[in-house]
């Protein structure tokens, strides 16, 4: 990539992640959410075929989270594979085509949201309830047993 192409791509990424107005600011002055968006922009800078992200929504305000979700959708539509690790099951339910539930370092369920839901009996709409059924219950139940 020539310097001109790099500068153009930088501008594209700053615009996509709504960081253009801070282009000439020091990163140390950025909020946590701005730093998250900057990291995401660098991950997509070279037009990768696959990206692996861990808890990408942590610390983002609702606007920043919506922006990241929209970017992920757009990139996915363009053929980019996105492997996302998250404990926020609402994000997984909204964003993922396929998911895996890991317990004790082992995959205990995987498939589409509907397929995983079916493994848990198919009665619950919310992935949190499905997760709790598949992993053996809630922390509150475990607390009751301990007391």
Number of domains into which the chain is organized: 2
Q: Residue 119 carries which DSSP code?
A: H
By residue count, the chain amounts to 147
Domain that holds residue 23: 1-85
pLDDT of the chain, 147 residues: tens digit per residue = 778 899 999 999 999 999 999 999 999 999 999 999 999 999 999 999 999 999 999 888 999 999 999 999 999 999 999 999 998 888 888 899 999 999 889 999 999 988 988 888 877 778 888 888 888 865 555 444 444
pLDDT, tens digit, for every residue of 75-98? 999 999 999 999 888 888 889 999
- 65 and 100 housed in the same domain: no
Mean of pLDDT over the chain: 87
- DSSP run (H or E) holding 142: helix 139-146
- Examine the fold and report which residue of 39, 60, 85 is the final residue of a domain before the chain moves on: 85
- Examine the fold and report which residue of 85, 105, 125 is the final residue of a domain before the chain moves on: 85
């Amino acid at each position: 990539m020539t310097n001109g192409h790099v500068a153009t791509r930088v501008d594209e990424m700053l615009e996509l992640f709504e960081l253009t107005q801070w282009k000439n600011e020091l990163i140390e002055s950025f909020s946590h959410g701005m730093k998250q968006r900057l990291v995401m922009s660098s991950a997509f800078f070279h037009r990768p075929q696959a990206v692996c992200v861990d808890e990408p929504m942590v610390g983002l305000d609702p606007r920043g989270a919506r922006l990241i979700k929209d970017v992920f959708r757009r990139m996915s539509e363009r053929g980019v594979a996105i492997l996302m690790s998250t404990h926020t099951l609402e994000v997984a339910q909204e964003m993922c085509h396929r998911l895996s539930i890991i317990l004790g370092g082992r995959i205990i369920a995987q498939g589409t949201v509907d397929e995983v839901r079916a493994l848990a009996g198919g009665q619950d709409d919310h992935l949190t309830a499905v997760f709790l059924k598949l992993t053996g219950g809630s922390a509150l139940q475990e607390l009751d047993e301990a007391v």
